[in-house]
Amino acid sequence: EDKRRRNTAASARFRVKKKMKALNLERTVADLTGRTEELEREAADLRRENGWLKEIILLKSRSI
């Protein structure tokens, strides 16, 4: 009887721990997905700015 009770308690602890681990992983995925989107937007902005700057340099060099 005691062994069964301990096993039931251990199983319950395992299920709780497994659920917490899954929730933490989901939170991490959401955080990293958001960060990835932010970095992709920043990279696109920088590429656009780089293009503008190259165009300015070309226009300046033509006028000289």
Q: What is the pLDDT of residue 63?
A: 84
CA–CA distance, 18 with 28 (Å, rounded to integer): 15
Mean pLDDT by 10-residue block, N- to C-terminus, for the chain (64 residues)?
96 98 98 98 98 96 86
Q: What is the pLDDT of residue 24?
A: 98
Q: What is the pLDDT of residue 64?
A: 76
3-state SS assignment for residue 64 = coil
CA–CA distance, 39 with 31 (Å, rounded to integer): 12
Q: What is the pLDDT of residue 51?
A: 98
**Domain that residue 39 falls in:** 1-63
Total domains, the chain? 1
pTM over 0.85: no
